[in-house]
Amino acid sequence: MSNVRLAIIYYSTYGTNHAMAETAAEAAREAGAEVRLLKVPETAPEGVVNGQDAWRAQAERTASVPEVTHADMEWANAYLFSAPTRYGVSASQLRAFIDTLGPLWAQGKLANKAASAMTSAQNPHGGQETTLIGLYTTMMHWGAIIVAPGYTDPVIYASGGNPYGTTVSAAGAPLSEESKASIRHQARRLVEFAGKIAG
């Protein structure tokens, strides 16, 4: 085991970001990290969720996944966030959780930790890059150390070539092998640098 305690924090309406988070968790564990796979609370009204079969089914499938807490944020020395883009920024459910973190930020408890992010959108130019940059801007306010994948492995090119973080065009299909390879590389790179930062 390494000295890395990684919180993989996701929001997923229909399952894409949940699958991305699970793929990352598997790779991070293989790299030696202690991993907590966590979802952010749903903020949409229950009637809205239940009114869409696919949304309701995803909520039921992941009912046993624990919701992230401030204690998880303190426990971790590395973070990987994954959420869909909405109008060029991350889904409001993730932002709502982030907006509760002021007390931890004010105490410096989010600083000096390795952090990375992934996202999805319905189409290739649906705001993925601005979503990742927006999340990284928040992490810079925390004083976290951003670990983007960059162009550090050929799998980045095979999966669409995004150096900011893995992005998936979500159209209801399972993750491609190229996307999974990119996610695994990003997770392993995050664990590697988180270990160096943690000393």
Confirm whether pTM is higher than 0.75: yes
Is the predicted pLDDT of residue 138 greater than 80, yes or no?
A: yes
**Distance (Å, whole) CA 31 – CA 85:** 28
Q: Is 178 helix (H, G, I), strand (E, B) or coil?
A: helix
Q: Which range, of 37-51, 85-99, 105-119, 160-174, averages the lowest pLDDT?
A: 160-174
Looking at the DSSP bridge assignments, the partners of residue 8 are 37, 80
Q: For position 172, what pLDDT does the model report?
A: 65
Is the predicted pLDDT of residue 139 greater than 70, yes or no?
A: yes
Q: For position 60, what pLDDT does the model report?
A: 93
Alpha helices for the chain (secondary structure H): 16-30, 46-50, 53-61, 70-75, 92-98, 102-106, 128-142, 154-158, 177-198
Cβ count near 59 (within 10 Å): 18
Q: For position 124, what pLDDT does the model report?
A: 77
How much helix, strand and coil, in percent to the nearest 5, is found in the chain? 45, 20, 35
Burial of 66 (0-12, 13-18, 19+ CB in 10 A): exposed
**Distance (Å, whole) CA 106 – CA 130:** 26
Is the predicted pLDDT of residue 1 greater than 70, yes or no?
A: no
81 alpha-carbon distance from chain centroid: 2
Q: Which residues of 4-42 are buried (b: 16+ CB within 10 A; e: fewer)?
A: bbbbbbbbbbbbbbbbbbbbbbbbbbebebbbbbbbbeb
Q: For position 135, what pLDDT does the model report?
A: 97
Q: Where are the domains of the chain?
A: 5-198
Q: What is the mean pLDDT of the chain?
A: 94
Torsion on CA atoms 39, 109, 104, 133, rounded to nearest 10: -60
Is the predicted pLDDT of residue 171 greater than 70, yes or no?
A: no
pLDDT digits (tens, 9 = 90+) for 112-134: 999 999 999 988 778 899 999 99
Q: For position 122, what pLDDT does the model report?
A: 85
Residue with tokens 């002021």: 102
Q: What is the CATH number of domain 5-198?
A: 3.40.50.360
Residue with tokens 């509760």: 100
